[in-house]
């Protein structure tokens, strides 16, 4: 969690309309979150113009008023291969137009899971993608990145890279909307989020046991718990992609005689029909944060992102080598 959460408005370090006023450039689709962050920071938000030619090339057009401004690009990396080049064109064009600095707000950060070579010839994409972003941006702010053996973003990024924890606002939502919640994590990896949220919400929690035998094959066991049958299960995970983890957890919870569970997901990747599959399995509700725009977004993270952006924009220092690079 970033210190100094501004639930109302960040203390401005500038006068609105001056060259110091934060300038946010949102990629299409994520404008609402960009505008909410800008409003909390007394900043200005505009949209990046993207035009795709018949041959697949993309023309980037930026609005006026960038010269001398600190620019924050807000982008959804749900489909990183489609966004990567336009993202770089945006950052470089902002510099060409006189931006004093260019940072990246990527609430969902992709390409972090491949942090080692699991088979001969595979790319280790985490540090490669980090270098790609560093070539154009001065800093990064993201939300609960999906890290495995990487313990901190500083291990892969050489600039200021801040991780925002969504736990406080998820806990607030649970306290308000599910007073009898029993919070569940679908696997051991989810325990870090589940434990934090449970502590903040003052609710009991359990972690299910998951064994994955393929990209879409998952087996889960449900712990024996009186609290589970008396309260409302709230299944919390950082990402729902195929949705198989959630649907199997719902099936087992229903078989154990629990109430229909509420599913809370930080990053709504939802490949194919995952969202509808989770609902069809028997979820009472599916709730997500707004890191990835989706109709299920109910937990807005702008109050957490705004102070992180303000902090990152003031720290443009770089380190010569990351711990991951030193080990290679």
Is 70 part of any domain? yes
Q: Are 315 and 255 in a shared domain?
A: no
Domain that holds residue 262: 167-299
Q: Would residue 6 count as lying in a domain?
A: no
Is pLDDT larger for residue 51 or for residue 322?
A: 51
pLDDT-derived band at 14 (thresholds 50, 70, 90) equals: very low
Are both 257 and 177 inside the same structural domain? yes
Residues 105, 41 share a domain: yes
Lowest mean pLDDT among 1-5, 39-43, 239-243: 1-5
The Cβ of residue 151 has, within 10 Å, a number of other Cβ atoms equal to: 9
Same domain for 192 and 213, yes or no, is: yes
Q: Which tens digit of pLDDT belongs to each residue from 49-58?
A: 999 999 999 9
Q: What is the largest CA-CA distance in the chain?
A: 62
Q: How confident is the model at residue 315 (pLDDT cuts 50, 70, 90)?
A: confident
Residue 13 in any domain: the answer is no
User: What was the pLDDT predicted at 17?
Assistant: 47
Per-residue HEC secondary structure of 234-275 comes to EEEEEECCCCHHHHHHHHHHHHCCCCCCEEEEEECCCCCCHH
State if pTM tops 0.75: yes
Based on the domain organization, do 148 and 246 belong to the same domain? no
Average pLDDT over the chain reads: 89
Residue 125: the pLDDT is: 94
Same domain, 259 and 174: yes
Q: Percentage of the chain surpassing pLDDT 70? A: 85
- Domain match, 242 and 307 both: no
Let me know whether 94 and 218 are in one domain.
no
Contacts 24+ apart (CB under 8 A), 10-16: 10/40, 10/41, 10/42, 10/306, 10/307, 10/310, 12/41, 12/42, 13/310, 14/42, 16/42
Domains in the chain, number? 2
> Are 157 and 178 found together in one domain?
no
pLDDT of 210 over the 70 cut: no
pLDDT tens digits, one per residue of 92-113: 999 999 999 999 999 999 999 8
Predicted local distance difference test score (pLDDT) of residue 13: 43
Is 12 domain-assigned?
Answer: no
Establish how many alpha carbons lie within 13 A of residue 32's alpha carbon, considering only the half-sphere containing its beta carbon. 13
213 domain residue, yes or no: yes
Q: How confident is the model at residue 148 (pLDDT cuts 50, 70, 90)?
A: confident
Least confident of 137-151, 181-195, 202-216, 231-245: 202-216
| Residue 52 neighbours by CB under 8 Å, 6+ apart | 58, 59
Tokens of 44: 């200005």
pLDDT at 1: 44
138 and 178 together in one domain:
no
54 & 187 share domain = no
pLDDT at residue 136 is higher than 90: yes
For the domain that residue 180 is a member of, what is the CATH number? 3.40.50.2020
Q: Other C-beta atoms within 10 Å of 279: how many? A: 19
Do both 277 and 187 map to the same domain?
yes
């Amino acid at each position: 969690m970033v210190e100094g959460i501004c639930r109302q408005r960040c203390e401005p370090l500038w006068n609105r309309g001056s060259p110091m006023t934060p300038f946010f450039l949102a990629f299409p689709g994520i404008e609402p979150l960009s505008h909410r962050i800008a409003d909390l920071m007394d900043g200005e938000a505009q949209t990046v113009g993207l035009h795709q030619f018949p041959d697949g090339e993309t023309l980037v057009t930026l609005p006026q008023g960038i010269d001398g401004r600190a620019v924050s690009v807000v982008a959804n990396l749900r489909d990183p291969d489609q966004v990567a080049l336009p993202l770089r064109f945006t950052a470089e064009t902002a510099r060409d137009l006189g931006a004093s600095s260019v940072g990246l707000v990527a609430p969902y950060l992709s390409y972090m899971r491949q942090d080692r070579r699991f088979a001969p010839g595979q790319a280790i994409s985490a540090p490669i993608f980090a270098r790609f972003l560093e070539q154009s941006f001065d800093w990064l702010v993201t939300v609960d990145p999906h890290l495995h053996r990487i313990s901190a973003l500083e291990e892969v990024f050489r600039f200021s890279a801040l991780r925002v924890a969504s736990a406080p606002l998820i806990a607030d939502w649970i306290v308000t909307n599910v007073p009898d919640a029993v919070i569940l994590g679908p696997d051991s990896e989810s325990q870090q989020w589940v434990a934090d949220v449970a502590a903040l919400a003052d609710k009991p929690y359990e972690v299910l046991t998951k064994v994955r035998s393929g990209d879409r094959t998952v087996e889960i066991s449900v712990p024996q718990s009186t609290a589970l049958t008396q309260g409302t299960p709230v299944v919390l995970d950082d990402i729902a992609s195929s949705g198989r983890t959630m649907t199997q957890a719902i099936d087992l919870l229903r078989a154990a005689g629990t109430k229909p569970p509420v599913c809370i997901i930080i990053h709504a990747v939802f490949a194919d029909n995952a969202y509808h599959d989770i609902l069809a399995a028997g979820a009472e509700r599916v709730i997500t944060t707004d890191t990835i725009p989706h109709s299920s977004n109910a937990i807005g993270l702008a109050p957490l992102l705004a102070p992180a952006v303000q902090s990152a924009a003031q720290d443009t220092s770089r380190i010569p080598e990351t711990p991951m690079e030193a080990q290679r």
